[in-house]
Structure 1
Amino acid sequence: MTTLAPHRRLPGLTPTAVKQSWGFMIGSSFFAVAAALSIGGASATVPNLLCFVGAWFFTGAGLIQTIRSAPRMTTVPGRPHPVLRAEWLGAATQSFGTVMFNISTTSALYARTVVEQDRWVWSPDAGGSVAFLVSGYFILVAYSHANGTLWAPASAEWWSAQINMLGCIAFGFSAVGAYVLPDNNVVNSAIANWGTLIGAICFFLTSLVVLPAAMRARRQAPTAQPA
């Protein structure tokens, strides 16, 4: 009888904290440049294309984050049934939000009428922003559960969670400012663009502050699953 060799996952396909961080940082950079160009008065074509590309990096990083946040369920003393873990909920809702941004940024390349802008650009953008706000809350809860406190400014992970929440709030303001009016203008382009820029910078920093630790963990465990 022939014995099959155990399946080995290709290193390049292994979801790691380093890849997750770089994915969010690259995606954030695209969003930040797009917002800066819009603030500077550039036409929508290039910023829309940059956001389209950046959203895919967000989605990839969000998928990695969701995979790494497993297991989905946990047991809680005093409760008869397992409950969903806050860390997984935060990752899953953020990942859902990135998919909504994919829909929004893709539609922005083609939408022309008010109805199209409202239905296919603003609505998924608003939905993604709400999902990010919810995920930011769950990430704070997860940090509190894991560390027993919500105040730990000496910790890079604490800063990451706080900055992430600020980015989620900024994206929320951006969605409000980007609401499309019947005359095909937005409520407030300054709020929309600055909210996107501030949020993108926050998400870049969210990953940047924890990237060194993730890279150290990967170097220190070369034979184990990458960090």
Structure 2
Amino acid sequence: MFAIGSTFFALATAPGFAAWAGAGTANLLCFIGSWFFTTAAWIQLVLSDGSKRFEWYSAAVQFAGTLLFNISTGAAVWAHVVLEERRYVWVPDATGSLFFLVSGALAMMAVFGVRELGRGDRLAAVVNLIGCVAFGVSAAAAFVRTDGVTEDEVLANLGTFVGAMCFLAAALIELPRTRSPGGA
């Protein structure tokens, strides 16, 4: 689910995509992707071990962040369709991004505090945290000044794209591996 949601976000914010497909399409893809993220985050929260505090807190904060992204991506679609704001493509909001940063830091604490985990688990946590930072950069770049101008629209979209690619990579690293019949 995280891989699917990340793919929607990456496609929507890929350089040149919004100019080619339109901001409405890009916003809709982010909205759809946000629901895959929320579903995955909910499953992760339900399956997290409450006795492992950092793991559970990371999942809970991440789930809350995905809900905030559902709201903000929905608002971007609404603004485009109803208010006819045709030039804006969704970028992570500051609060949702802050939740993702906190979640990513808690995940690092959970993963690096367990000795029996493999390199893949740790690599996924690091890549995920890099994605969280990229979403945070995107949110900061998307800040709208008092004159109504976005601080840095290119950096805002690039941060979202890089973050989505990191989340996709982390999700793929975490996919279960199948073993061949010979055990290799």
Give the TM interval when normalised to the shorter protein: 0.7 to 0.9
Which whole-Å CA distance do the structure 1 matches of 2:148 and 2:84 have between them? Answer: 7
Distance 1:37 1:45 in 2: 15
- Between the aligned partners of 1:97 and 1:147, the Cα distance in structure 2 is 28
What are the residue-to-residue correspondences of 1:93-172 with 2, within 5 Å? Answer: 93-111=61-79, 112=83, 125-147=93-115, 155-172=119-136
Structure 2 residue 2 is the aligned partner of structure 1 residue 24:
yes
- Aligned pair count reads 172
What is the CA-CA distance between 1:58 and the residue it aligns to? 0.3
- Counterparts of 2:149 and 2:84, CA distance in 1: 11
The aligned counterpart of 1:90 is: 58
* Cα distance in 1 for residues equivalent to 2:59 and 2:139: 21
Choose from 137, 155, 159 the match for 1:195.
Answer: 159
Q: Which runs of 5+ in 1 are unaligned?
A: 1-22, 75-84, 217-227
Query: Bigger radius of gyration, 1 or 2?
Result: 1
The answer (yes or no) to whether the contact 2:18–2:25 under 8 Å persists in 1 is no
Q: Is the 8 A contact 1:113 1:184 kept in 2?
A: no
Q: Would you say 1:34 and 2:2 are equivalent positions? A: no
SS at match of 1:186: coil
2:137 matched to which residue of 1?
173
Amino acid of the residue matched to residue 109 of structure 1?
V
Report the Cα offset of residue 64 of structure 1: 0.5
Superposed CA deviations along residues 102-154 of structure 1, whole A, max 9, x for unmatched, are 0000001123499xx9xxx87x8211100000001000100122128xxx8x6
Letter in 1 for 2:65: G
Moved over 6 A (4+): none
Q: SS where residue 100 of structure 2 aligns? A: helix
Q: What amino acid does structure 1 have at the position aligned with 2:55?
A: E
Residue aligning to 2:170: 206
Identity rate, percent: 43
Distance 1:62 1:157, change over 3 A: same
1:210 and 1:129 mapped to 2: Cα distance? 22
SS in 2 for 1:70: coil
Taking only aligned residues, the RMSD between alpha carbons, in angstroms, comes to 2.5
Letter of the 1:126 partner, please give it.
A
Q: Write the distance in 2 (CA, Å) between the matches of 1:92 and 1:41.
A: 36
Give the conservation status (yes or no) of the 8 Å contact 1:160–1:209. yes
- What are the residue-to-residue correspondences of 1:33-72 with 2, within 5 Å? 33-36=11-14, 41-42=19-20, 43-71=22-50
Distance in 2 between the 1:113 and 1:208 partners? 37
For normalisation by structure 2, the TM-score amounts to 0.84
Change (3 A) 1:40 1:101: closer
Deviates more, 1:104-113 or 1:92-101: 104-113
1:86 Cα deviation from its structure 2 partner:
0.3
Using structure 1 for the length normalisation, give the TM-score.
0.69
